Amino acid sequence: MRLYDMTLSGNCYKVRLFLGMIGQQAELCSIDLRAGEQKRAEFLAINPRGQIPALVDGDMKLGDSQAILVYLARRYADEHWDPLDAVSQGRIASWLSFAANEILYGPATARVGKLFGLPIDTAAVHQKALAALQLLDNHLVTHTWLAEGAQPSIADIAVYPYAALAGDGGIDLTPYTHLNAWFARIRELPGYFGMPGL
């Protein structure tokens, strides 16, 4: 497997983290976003959406961090990471969407604004981020893992990085007791490792 990657991307980190947790290895190929490598023809042939991460496994080419988690779970991981029953599948898909929307346009956008100096509407982005973190905190009052199973799933891996990196965007995570307890549970999982900012 080859993973097109960038060290500071939370979306790339979530794939590297999951690979580590399921005992799989991928050759890492670093993409320079500032140089626009993700929009060049060679890369668009791998992922027409022009985004990292992207995974090549044999003749399969796949973009989108959430989709890569789904692929890796189904192909290489224990079933608890992506259980096949309809309710689990629906719940996981819903959290993957939360990761790609509320989390991406909240804490992840606050982070690129502060860390990389991209122009953002800070007040609006922080409001979204706080709402997303509060929703997570409320959910985790009564659930150990996001998809409500006894073991973690890819939903946890998808949401964790940019939620836990919210501090990089100037957001104080201290008030979110249940969220912090969930962060701690993830950090105790076999194979866990961090990234800069975690």
CB of 33 to a copy of itself, least distance (A): 17
Q: How far is the CB of 180 from a copy of itself (least distance, A)?
A: 19
In this structure, the number of other CB atoms found within 10 A of the CB of residue 84 comes to 8
Q: Does 26 bind a copy of itself (CB under 8 A)?
A: no
Q: DSSP 3-state assignment of 184?
A: helix
Q: Toward a copy of itself, which CB reaches closer, 60 or 118?
A: 60
Binding flag, residue 75, a copy of itself (CB under 8 A)? yes
Tell the smallest beta-carbon distance from residue 85 to a copy of itself (Å): 7
Which residues contact residue 195 at a Cβ distance below 8 angstroms, ignoring those fewer than 6 apart?
A: 7, 8, 10, 13, 16, 17, 161
**Beta carbons within 8 Å of 104's beta carbon, 6+ residues apart:** 162
135 binds a copy of itself (CB under 8 A): yes
Among 40, 49, 143, 187, binds a copy of itself (CB under 8 A): 49
What is the phi/psi pair of residue 148, to 5°?
75, 15
- Encoded tokens for 40: 């060049």
* Nearest CB to a copy of itself, comparing residues 91 and 111: 91
Given the complex with a copy of itself, which of 131 and 181 has the nearer CB atom? 131
Least distance in angstroms from the C-beta of 129 to a copy of itself? 14
What is the Cα–Cα distance from 128 to 27, expressed in whole angstroms?
Answer: 35
Binding mask 159-198 for a copy of itself (x = CB under 8 A): ----------------------------------------
Q: What is the DSSP letter of 89?
A: H
